Amino acid sequence: MSKLPDGFLWGGAVAAHQFEGGWQADGKGISIADVMTVGDNKTERQITDGVQPGQNYPNHDAIDFYGHYKADVKLFAELGLKCFRTSIAWTRIFPNGDEDEPNEAGLQFYDNLFDELHKYGIEPVITLSHFEMPYHLVTEYGGWRSRKMIDFFTKFATVVFKRYRNKVKYWMTFNEINNQSGMLNKWSLFTNSGLLAKPGEDIERTMYQASHYETVASALAVQIGHKINPDFQIGAMFSIGPAYPLTPDPRNMMKSERAMQASQWYADVQCKGKYPAWLTKYFERKGYDLDITLADLDVLKAGTVDYIGFSYYASHVVQAVPDEAEDYMTRDAKTDVPNPTLKASEWGWMIDPVGLRYALNWFSDRYDLPLFIVENGLGAFDKVEGGQIHDDYRISYLREHIKQMELAVNVDGVNLMGYTPWGFIDLVSAGTGQMDKRYGMIYVDKNDAGTGTMKRMKKDSFAWYHKVIETNGADL
């Protein structure tokens, strides 16, 4: 098997709200993740009106990395990680989001964490906003429907860029900023943008407005960051789940093209610095008179990203509905159909390693930027047997995806910075709030009910991934 370039960033990825716990520690404010209850495969997570008594909020304590970070980082070093992707919990720095001064105790926590990582030669890779904005900004300002959010976000970004200018080089602005557009569901609108639909509101319009403010805030952050440290690498972050046409019917191909455009237009804005023509036309047709100023358009042009970070888990299949509108914008669940050539995970996600190679080529062709796979992995139920966890299904998933990633680099010539499998230490699922939907190479003894010893244990995939990193991807 072929190898990867020297300096390839092998790592692991998590997000603050899904693993830190310590939801009220040292002055932390309530984030949007703190008002989301536990769900499961069939039950949606509920978004409650503030923190309510008697509810199970899995992110509150998560796996208490906040209390275990030294021992955990030691374990990450033992795994052999070259880099570690996490996010900074905005609410540790600005508990409500609209304060003038940051919370020193929160800043200190990340100083300690980054120092601990550097002690073992692990490079931090930091997302500024990963589904965890201050809840106060939702109740007071309606989330990203308000232009004021741009100021709150850039203030937060400026504070952490300055504070960690010599400790963090790799940044991303908004995690999976495109979920809201591709999925347009309650969960993604809330996690991406803190949006709760008002009665009678055209939430799609609001989503486009919020998304616009986010891309402007991201572009400003890119410019601010580069001024603070010209060596910063500041990326965007998209989820990509390629939408394949079910059959060669040209209408299905057009449907697939439009599904990709509808979910990936953020990449045009954040990488090319401008809106795609089809979307401007769509706004016109819908009569969306959005607050997009000429000054905003200049900001977008001047604040394009240095690289594309993306998550890849699964692919999708679409087909045109019988009375498909000519603009192919129909949002209909019936258009997303199972792929008869693939198997699904226990959560119904289509397992498709080749789709990763496709995604790498897709981004590379369009944007000609360095790419970074910052999430990939298999959520599965694990069984502990005599103190061991034999997760051969996870090893097999990762192995097949890494093979395709290596083909993209060595055959297709894609410029790839690194690979950080998602949830390499078990954590709270973003979609379902479950602990038992596990992605880790490190097992954490905690379950959906919220009980367990929090003990960390190595799964079989731990030794396997260690070897993969050690051989720079040669020994899979």
Q: Which residues have C-beta within 8 Å of that of residue 311, sequence separation ≥ 6? A: 176, 237, 238, 239, 240, 373, 374, 375, 376, 422
* 175 binds ligand P53 per the rule CB under 6 A: yes
Q: Which is nearer to ligand P53, 328 or 422 (CB)?
A: 422
Do strands 442-444 and 456-458 pair parallel, antiparallel, or not at all (unpaired)?
antiparallel
* 33 binds ligand P53 per the rule CB under 6 A: no
Q: To the nearest whole angstrom, how small is the minimum distance from the Cβ of residue 91 to ligand P53?
A: 16
Q: Write the CA distances from 393 to 31, 147, 226, 390, 461, integer angstroms.
A: 34, 46, 42, 9, 9
* 170 binds ligand P53 per the rule CB under 6 A: no
Cα separation, 391 vs 380, in Å, equals 9
Q: Which is nearer to ligand P53, 13 or 221 (CB)?
A: 13
Considering only residues 9, 11, 12, 15, which one is a binding residue for ligand P53 as defined by CB under 6 A? 15
Residue 289 · residue 209 · CB < 8 Å:
no
Q: To the nearest whole angstrom, how small is the minimum distance from the Cβ of residue 137 to ligand P53?
A: 19
DSSP string, 323-370: T--TT-----GGGB---TTS-B-TTS-B--HHHHHHHHHHHHHHH---
Considering only residues 379, 418, 440, 473, which one is a binding residue for ligand P53 as defined by CB under 6 A? 379
* 359 binds ligand P53 per the rule CB under 6 A: no
Backbone angles phi, psi at 21, to 5 degrees: 70, -150
Binding-site size for ligand P53 (CB under 6 A) equals 16
Considering only residues 20, 34, 132, 176, which one is a binding residue for ligand P53 as defined by CB under 6 A? 176
Residue with tokens 């937060």: 156
3-state secondary structure of 81: coil
> Between 123 and 162, how does the x/- string for binding to ligand P53 read (CB under 6 A)?
--------x-------------------------------
Considering only residues 154, 178, 239, 335, which one is a binding residue for ligand P53 as defined by CB under 6 A? 239
CA angle 296, 302, 305 (to 5 degrees): 110
Q: Does the annotation count 257 as an active-site position?
A: no
Choosing from 116, 214, 324, 375, which is the catalytic residue? 375
Q: Which is nearer to ligand P53, 59 or 261 (CB)?
A: 59
Considering only residues 307, 313, 328, 363, which one is a binding residue for ligand P53 as defined by CB under 6 A? 313
As beta bridge partners, residue 317 has 244
Cα separation, 241 vs 391, in Å, equals 24
* 87 binds ligand P53 per the rule CB under 6 A: no
Segment 402 to 461, residues that bind ligand P53, using CB under 6 A? 422, 429-432, 437
The DSSP symbol for 218 reads H
Q: Which is nearer to ligand P53, 81 or 427 (CB)?
A: 427
* 308 binds ligand P53 per the rule CB under 6 A: no
Q: To the nearest whole angstrom, how small is the minimum distance from the Cβ of residue 227 to ligand P53?
A: 28
Question: What ranges in 120-185 are assigned the alpha helix state H?
Answer: 135-141, 148-163, 179-183
Q: Which is nearer to ligand P53, 37 or 158 (CB)?
A: 37
Q: Which is nearer to ligand P53, 404 or 434 (CB)?
A: 434
Residues near ligand P53 (CB under 6 A) are 15, 18, 131, 175-176, 239, 311, 313, 375, 379, 422, 429-432, 437
Active site residues: 375
